[in-house]
Structure 1
Amino acid sequence: MAEPAQPSVAAHSSHSSSAGRQGHSNVLTSYDPRTGEIVGNYAVMGSGEVNRIVRAGAAAEKWWAELGFAARKRWLLEWKRSIARRASELVELVCEETGKPEADAAIEVMLAVENLDWAARNAARALDRRRLGSTWLTRNQRASVGHLPLGVVGVLGPWNNPVFTPMGSIAYAMAAGNAVVFKPSELTTGVGVWLAESWTRLAPNQPVLQVVTGDSGTSASLCRARVDKIAYAGLDDGAREVISWCAQTMTPVVVERNGKGTMVVHVDARLDEAAEAAVFGAMANAGQNPTGIQRAYVADSVFDSFLELVIDQARKLRPGADRKASYGPMILESQVDVVRKQVRDALARGGKAVVGGMDSIRDPYIEPIVLAEVPEESLAVTGEAIGPVLIVNRVSDIGEAVRRINAVGHGDAVSVFTRDARGVEAVAEQLRVGVVTINSSTAYLGIPALPFGGVGEYGQGHHHGEPGLREFSRTLAIARKRYQAPVNLSTFDRHTRHLRTARTFFRLRHGR
């Protein structure tokens, strides 16, 4: 693993920047978005360095895969304990690179460690070889299915949750027996380096987890390095770039987008609980949580009451850099302009700003913004939602809410608030989304066994749970002949009596 490089030229005045000679960047500088102070300087790795690291990972993967599930579990649980013992260091680094309040960073680290623990403890149950049943025609065969490692998995991490989100790929890929090459976001490079170094301290001669640092060129090099799979989390434009790069080498991709989900508030909902969940889901982490809330569709009869509760709660929040701040700054500078554009468009189309407005956007902080009655064709509804903005729209009933959600098609998560918890499960099946929660919003993130993923272009593959483990595995089916079948049809020298017997059994089994 390369040591952080020292800068050779002055850094730009942005959250992260790179500078180089002859048009090629060689230094990446990470900044604290709250203060502009330098957090660290890191090498911008080119294709040669990336390929070398991938080759080292492939060699280490042979050792790692051969250990088996039980031994890998012991290694991963020891790694988990190491991270937990030094969690305060990681929390501080997350705060410096993202500007998050300490409590938010601590929760993120805890959730990441919980996923590492679950993946380590459950990989064998989900992936180990198991026997399968057979039919009367093949009762002389013993069938089994198991899941083997892919090899080397490349993970491209996001900037908004730089520990929790990539750990949803790193931990599951490693538990499945793969080596991992992790490319963190340019804005949170230090976090990625810390995670890789925590593994290196544990196993200095086995680079099962390595980090590559750099910019989008480094990401492209990793995608083209013929790894066995790429896991990407981030913005839509980045996802399309990654898919395009991977298509050149036919490398499969699992994608998690950065947009937010939707809430439905039924007529019988506990409005205080729904309002609290909506505001938290929309505003936590400055609205930069991909599992948060973008819109709330509220039944007409309770719309005004719900909106009053939301307004009251949102007005109590305050962004800032101090410990009492509700949330921190926008981590990615360009997203401030995206929020500005979306809010302006929503207001121009007739939406109402009931909390905040255009004056709430003070780079790098955005105060809470609540918009009501926003037209569905607005950019604030159709666009990628990142920022502390909540849209509250009126619907006639839950059926209209379902139609609107499917029409927008973000395909992430939907939270339904109602006292009829059983009845809403039928509604859930009508939604084209990956996750539906009832009477809670983001709490499902604390359930590592629960898989999640989007639908359509907004989600390819799954993270977490058993599907998350299988995402980084290949299936191997084995059938073994145990004895000579009394009725053998798998030959050109078939006996006429065997065929008559088979037809008789077939009619008795399926024709009655």
Structure 2
Amino acid sequence: MTSTAPKPASTGPAAGSDTFDSLDPRDGSVVATHPRHTPAQVKAVVAQARAAADWWADLGFDGRRSRLAAWRRLLISRTDELAALVSHETGKPLDDARIEVVLVIDHLHWAGKHAKAALGRRRAEAGALMVNHTATIEYRPLGVVGVLGPWNYPVFTPMGSIVYALAAGNAIVFKPSELTPTVGRWLVDTFAEVLRGTDPGRDDAGHVFGLVTGEGETGAALCRAGVDKVAFTGSTATAKKVMATCAESLTPVLVECGGKDALLVDHDADLDDAAAAAVWGAMSNAGQTCVGVERVYVVESVAEVFLDKVAQRAATVRPGGEPRSIYGPITMPSQLGIISDQIDDALSRGGRAVVGGRESVHAPYVDPVVLADVPEDSIAVTDETFGPTVVVNRVRDIDEAVERANASRYGLGGSVFAKKRGYEIARRLRCGMVSVNGVIAFAAMPSLPFGGVGDSGFGRIHGRDGLREFTRPLAVSERRFKSINVMTFDRPGWVVKAMTVLAGLIYRRNR
């Protein structure tokens, strides 16, 4: 398969380094060749970003917004080009790739528009005892943010950090997954193209958003390169390694790890909607979605009808390598063994294969698999699958469904289908995001923070929380007029006693 993907530049810090190929997982053809950056080269890219960071921050909210808007317009005009590249490197259908790009366009708009309101200087309450002072707070950029991106959504997921960090005034050094480096190269190159148009002759503008490529060693080098924060998306095991590396220099981290998200179906749910959501949430992108549906807990009174509806839908879904297939291959070959092991464990321990089974795994594809009545301590229930499989287990009532959903060590997203008590059930779930009578809808809403708890990580991207994640709060107090100053050794002896009496008078009545 011939690729029109842009080739990485042969000049700059990476010149002369070792190289590696990115491959189309559908047929193993080479998409592009990329440099394997050494630690010294990574430091050089970070140093370039550091030099550009002050200029980017000094543009202010309006200046950054106009440049992000120009990038947004470029993405709109070249959506098909980027989508085709995503399809090449991941194997996913073109429409799935287009969805990624469209969502990023929406997030670019939201972050640029709302950064000023979320981060700009505002008045704070000084308090009754400090009436002679004003108090303000603003959120200042950190400087340089390192972003370690995943391969399953190589545009949407890392851009959830990149876009918000840029809008907040930071420079970026991006290390994409070694499976999708060409997508990363495209993003960096197009942003530089935009800045060449908006800021001609500004040499450091091209370093606001830098790129390093390679495997885990390159990622570790970025963690050690003196960035001001690292945003990581990937497995929990790798997140622990990233955190340990960043701890060497007390570099703060944001980690968004895997999930074992549950969909809960109450007795009064619309079963057709719930079944459609369960199948799409489990099978789309070949199940390679951190907030995909991996477990379903359905109330006993509607379990058989619901399971029949799921089985009928899943049986019609087939993977393939064509641009318009329902879903594509398993992008990372090593994941095929994990999927097989989970299916085997579930079936050997009494679970039922309602759709598919062991024969569903045929590299590089996996046909849909629906398992039922699987023991809760099976790895198909406890461990992230990242494949087009789903476990459907029945429960006596919604209380048991909540209990089982919360028993996981993960806590990323979730879904609830219920006509009457949807929100009430949702707020009982131990996770970061919940869709009621829908699935994964929260990810498409730029105003909502995205992130998890437990083994799913910590910190947030998207929304106001996502903007503030890449800043440091700066609190400033300023004396308005001269009066008796408590904060000095020159204060009269009666001042502290008077303050104590005043505090009692004020706060004894206040609630």
The two structures have a TM-score, normalised by structure 2, of 0.93
Amino acid at match of 2:429: L
Any residues of structure 2 matched to 1:204-243 within 5 Å, and which? 204=196, 205=203, 206=205, 207-243=207-243
Report deviation, 1:32.
0.9
Tell me the distance in 2 between the aligned counterparts of 1:65 and 1:104: 34
Find the counterpart in structure 2 of residue 364 from structure 1.
364
Any residues of structure 2 matched to 1:68-467 within 5 Å, and which? 68-204=60-196, 205=203, 206=205, 207-420=207-420, 423-467=421-465
Change (3 A) 1:45 1:497: closer
Report deviation, 1:440.
0.8
Amino acid at match of 1:143: A
CA contact (8 A) 1:461 1:471 kept: yes
Tell me the distance in 2 between the aligned counterparts of 1:81 and 1:324: 26
Q: What secondary structure does 1:268 align onto?
A: coil
2:487 to 487, 490, 496: 490
Change (3 A) 1:285 1:504: same
1:57 to 31, 35, 49: 49
Cα displacement string for residues 458-511 of structure 1 (whole angstroms, at most 9, x for unaligned residues) = 2120010011011100111000000123x6543444446655653443333222
Cα displacement string for residues 362-417 of structure 1 (whole angstroms, at most 9, x for unaligned residues) = 10000000000111111111112200001100111111112112211210111111
Q: What secondary structure does 1:359 align onto?
A: helix
Tell me the distance in 2 between the aligned counterparts of 1:4 and 1:217: 21
CA contact (8 A) 1:409 1:432 kept: no
CA contact (8 A) 1:91 1:106 kept: yes
Percent identity (aligned)? 47
Tell me the distance in 1 between the aligned counterparts of 2:260 and 2:73: 32
Tell me the distance in 1 between the aligned counterparts of 2:10 and 2:70: 30
Amino acid at match of 1:470: R
Q: What secondary structure does 1:384 align onto?
A: coil
CA contact (8 A) 1:5 1:27 kept: no
Q: What secondary structure does 1:51 align onto?
A: helix
Cα-Cα RMSD: 1.9
Cα displacement string for residues 212-233 of structure 1 (whole angstroms, at most 9, x for unaligned residues) = 1111111111111111111111
Find the counterpart in structure 1 of residue 503 from structure 2.
506
Amino acid at match of 1:443: A
**Are 1:473 and 2:471 an aligned pair?**
yes
Q: What secondary structure does 2:84 align onto?
A: helix
Say which is worse superposed, 489-498 or 117-126, in terms of deviation. Answer: 489-498
**Are 1:45 and 2:37 an aligned pair?**
yes
CA contact (8 A) 1:4 1:41 kept: no
The two structures have a TM-score, normalised by structure 1, of 0.93
Find the counterpart in structure 1 of residue 21 from structure 2.
29
Change (3 A) 1:66 1:151: same
Report deviation, 1:426.
3.6
Say which is worse superposed, 358-367 or 502-511, in terms of deviation. Answer: 502-511
Cα displacement string for residues 146-203 of structure 1 (whole angstroms, at most 9, x for unaligned residues) = 1111111111110100000000000011111100011111111110000000011122
Tell me the distance in 1 between the aligned counterparts of 2:360 and 2:384: 19
Tell me the distance in 1 between the aligned counterparts of 2:424 and 2:119: 31
Change (3 A) 1:503 1:239: closer
Cα displacement string for residues 91-124 of structure 1 (whole angstroms, at most 9, x for unaligned residues) = 1000100111111000011111211111111111
Tell me the distance in 1 between the aligned counterparts of 2:323 and 2:8: 32
Report deviation, 1:3.
3.4
Tell me the distance in 1 between the aligned counterparts of 2:150 and 2:222: 15
Change (3 A) 1:5 1:484: closer
Cα displacement string for residues 411-465 of structure 1 (whole angstroms, at most 9, x for unaligned residues) = 0111111011xx4434333322111221111122210010011102321200100
Corresponding pairs, count: 492
Tell me the distance in 2 between the aligned counterparts of 1:489 and 1:186: 58
Q: What secondary structure does 1:203 align onto?
A: helix
Tell me the distance in 2 between the aligned counterparts of 1:150 and 1:200: 21
5+ residue gaps, structure 2: 1-5, 197-202
Change (3 A) 1:25 1:78: closer
Amino acid at match of 2:190: S
Cα displacement string for residues 247-291 of structure 1 (whole angstroms, at most 9, x for unaligned residues) = 222211111113341100001101100110010000000000112
Tell me the distance in 2 between the aligned counterparts of 1:496 and 1:196: 63
CA contact (8 A) 2:17 2:38 kept: no
Tell me the distance in 1 between the aligned counterparts of 2:134 and 2:176: 45
Change (3 A) 1:465 1:110: same
Q: What secondary structure does 2:294 align onto?
A: strand
CA contact (8 A) 1:153 1:179 kept: yes
CA contact (8 A) 1:350 1:375 kept: yes
Report deviation, 1:324.
4.2
Find the counterpart in structure 1 of residue 199 from structure 2.
none
Say which is worse superposed, 264-273 or 495-504, in terms of deviation. Answer: 495-504
